[in-house]
Amino acid sequence: NTFEFKLLLDQLLLEQKDKLTVLFNSFVCDVNSLSDRIESVTVANKDGLVVVKPKVVIDCTGDADVAAWAGAPFEQNPEVQPLTLHFRIANVQGTPGLSGLCRAALEGAQKRGELPYYYGPGVMFLFGKNEVYVHGVRVPCDPTNAADLTRAEMQGRADAHAMFRAWKKEVPAFADAYFMEAYPWIGVRESRRIIGQYVLKENDLMTAARFEDAIATGCWYLDLHPNKTVVGSANDFDPKKVQPEPYDIPFGSLVPQKVENLLVAGRCHSATRGAHASTRVTATAMALGEAAGCAAALALQSKQQVATLDGVRVREALAALGAGSFTGTP
């Protein structure tokens, strides 16, 4: 329930209102750097252009916008994983084998030229007795390009509704269904990845690597979606062959090179493309965010730059907060 989740997050923020300034609907639009340090960040919102002079910046843009604009080195594959718009359909009747019936209908729609790309689809009763959550839209796009991202948003909505129409026409369970909502933002899997103090590699995942400065644990398989698959598999790898045991993510993968007061968190952290295919998922991104926040606080308390902060201290502080149990044994 996304609304109740927002209420919970609001409450968590309000509980710390004496320590936080929260600004919704505000977007970073410029970064001013000097001598490997971010001096100011410009934010656009209803007040106009607001200049913030931070001691520490945490880039959670997903696309490493702040890091890139600050001059931190990064990588971006020429063809990134496709974008997906999730959506919900209401008044659907539960039917055995529903996903298979939906898949067959989409195959027909694609052959008729009504749907360019898709995967799966995943059709799940998650929210209510007769509501389904769907992931199956696949839109090739460069999410760091404004015009291409706009096109992808429009294409995603068009494809979602094309799926709905195909099911309503051909799948009896959707006879009385109606399109409930599409999510407000199209989902991005991959864009820029910083080149940090440590680059997490596929072999680190597949050997369940341990690091002294471990600040999060990952366990998702190497989930690399092909850019333009019409139908069939959602993954470039065989999931059965790329399912790692739980592995450590080191603090060094959150620390960009060449910018001393910047951290990143989420899917733009430092990893090879294959390793990133596992670490990019939501739960792992949340853990990286907590680690970055903890590290920023430690740096301020000790009056040092995050680039020189000992990752072992971050691991120990997270463990003391109950964030996780990390072995710290390389």
Give the pLDDT of residue 38: 98
> For the purposes of burial, counting CB atoms within 10 Å of the CB of 46, is it exposed (0-12), middle (13-18) or buried (19 or more)?
exposed
Range in 190-204, 231-245, 265-279 the model is least confident about: 231-245
Mean pLDDT across the stretch 66-83? 96
Among the listed residues 284, 273, 283, 253, the one whose alpha carbon sits nearest the alpha carbon of residue 80 = 273
Which H or E element spans position 166?
helix 146-170
Q: pLDDT-derived band of residue 119, with 50, 70 and 90 as boundaries? A: confident
Give the pLDDT of residue 232: 47
Radius of gyration for the chain, computed over Cα atoms and rounded to the nearest angstrom: 21
Instruction: Report the share of the chain in percent with pLDDT over 90.
Output: 80
Q: pLDDT-derived band of residue 1, with 50, 70 and 90 as boundaries? A: confident
Q: Is the pLDDT of residue 312 over 70?
A: yes
CB 119 within 8 A of CB 225: yes
Give the pLDDT of residue 326: 62
Q: Is the pLDDT of residue 30 over 90?
A: yes
Q: Is the pLDDT of residue 230 over 60?
A: no
Q: DSSP label at 178?
A: E
CB 325 within 8 A of CB 246: no
* 0.85 surpassed by pTM: yes
Q: pLDDT-derived band of residue 237, with 50, 70 and 90 as boundaries? A: low
Distance CA 156, CA 289 (A): 28
DSSP-derived 3-state class of residue 15:
coil
Among the listed residues 259, 303, 290, 275, the one whose alpha carbon sits nearest the alpha carbon of residue 68 = 259
Distance CA 212, CA 206 (A): 18
Distance CA 152, CA 158 (A): 10
Q: pLDDT-derived band of residue 94, with 50, 70 and 90 as boundaries? A: confident
Give the pLDDT of residue 242: 80
Give the pLDDT of residue 71: 97
Of residues 225 and 48, the one with the higher pLDDT is 48
Among the listed residues 236, 231, 232, the one whose alpha carbon sits nearest the alpha carbon of residue 115 = 231
- Cβ contacts of residue 59 below 8 Å, gap of 6+? 65, 66, 67, 262, 263, 264, 265, 268
- Structure token pair of residue 186: 């199209």
Q: pLDDT-derived band of residue 234, with 50, 70 and 90 as boundaries? A: low
Mean pLDDT across the stretch 274-302? 96
Range in 97-101, 122-126, 198-202 the model is least confident about: 122-126
Q: Is the pLDDT of residue 243 over 70?
A: yes
Q: Is the pLDDT of residue 236 over 70?
A: no
Q: How many whole angstroms from its chain centre is CA 309?
A: 25
The phi, psi pair for 169, rounded to 5°, reads -80, -35
- Structure token pair of residue 264: 């990143």
Q: Is the pLDDT of residue 329 over 60?
A: no
Helix then strand count (H, E) for the chain reads: 8, 13
The phi, psi pair for 206, rounded to 5°, reads -75, -15
The phi, psi pair for 78, rounded to 5°, reads -55, -40
Peptide bond preceding 121: is omega within 30 degrees of 0, i.e. cis?
Answer: yes
Mean pLDDT across the stretch 161-173? 95
Among the listed residues 260, 285, 220, 276, the one whose alpha carbon sits nearest the alpha carbon of residue 77 = 276
Instruction: Report the share of the chain in percent with pLDDT over 70.
Output: 93
Q: Whole-number mean pLDDT of the chain?
A: 92
